[in-house]
Amino acid sequence: MSEIINKDRATYKTMAASTKEDWKIISGYAKDFNKNLSYRILDHLKLLKDDHGGFAVDRLEHSLQTATRAHKDGRDEEYIVCALLHDVGDMLGSHNHAEIGAAILKPFVSEKNHWMLYNHGIFQGYYFFEHLGLDNKMRDKYKGHEYFEYTAQFCHLYDQCAFDPEYESIPLKEFEPMVHKVLSKPKSSIYKH
C-alpha cells in the first residue's frame, strides 16, 4: 500500500494508506522531536523579553519574578515551572493566554496545577478587572471548587505582585534544568508509551 522511497522517510498520500512500517519511521522522528520540546518552549518564553505591554517590567521578567517568588517560598519544581510558564501563551493567544499555557503544560503537570494555569487569568482579574469595566469577582463562580484557594493563592502570592522593576529575579538559566526535568516525560497523553 504505502511505498517507502528510502528507509529514512515514510511516504504515503493519506494516513489511511500508511503502514506499521511507516509509523515506525515516523515514531522515531517524533521521539527525537519530543526530546527538544522543553527547548522550544523556553525559546518561546524568551519571545516575551522586551514586550512590556504597558507594564513596568517586560513579560519575561514578570514570568521570572513569579517563578522566583514561588521558588523562594519553597514550592516544588512542577509548581515553579508552572509559575515560570504561566503566561507563555501571551504571544500566541492574547485573548486566551491562560488556556494556551495550560494546554501546553497539561501532559506534564498535575490536575491541580493544570486547573490553576487554565484559570489564573480570571483569578488574576480580581486585582484589576474593575479598571477595565469588568467584574473583578468573576472568579467567584468557582467558589467551592477544590482548587479555588490554591489558584487564588498563586495569583495573590506570586502573579499579581510580579511587576516590580526593583525585584531581583533568579536568571532564566537557573530555571532551565527544572523545565527540562518537568517536561521530560508526560504524565498524561494519548501519545504516552
CA 158 and chain centroid, separation: 16
Sorting pLDDT into bands at 50, 70 and 90, what band is 28?
Answer: confident
Helices (H), 36-185: 37-46, 59-72, 77-85, 97-105, 111-124, 148-154, 172-182
Residue 135 pLDDT more than 60?
yes
pLDDT, mean of residues 160-168: 96
Q: How many whole angstroms separate alpha carbon 106 and alpha carbon 3?
A: 36
- Tell me if 103 is assigned to some domain: yes
Sorting pLDDT into bands at 50, 70 and 90, what band is 5?
Answer: very low
Residue 1: predicted pLDDT: 39
Q: How many domains does the chain have?
A: 1
- Tell me if 21 is assigned to some domain: no
Residue 9 phi/psi, 5-degree rounding, is -145, 130
- Judge whether 60 and 48 are in contact, CB under 8 Å: yes
Q: How many whole angstroms separate alpha carbon 193 and alpha carbon 189?
A: 9
Residue 188: predicted pLDDT: 87
Our CA angle for 23, 26, 29, nearest 5°, is 150
Identify the domain containing residue 42 by its residue range: 37-182
Residue 10: predicted pLDDT: 64
Q: How many whole angstroms separate alpha carbon 98 and alpha carbon 101?
A: 5
* CATH number reported for the structural domain that contains residue 53 in this entry: 1.10.3210.10
- Tell me if 187 is assigned to some domain: no
Residue 179 pLDDT more than 80?
yes
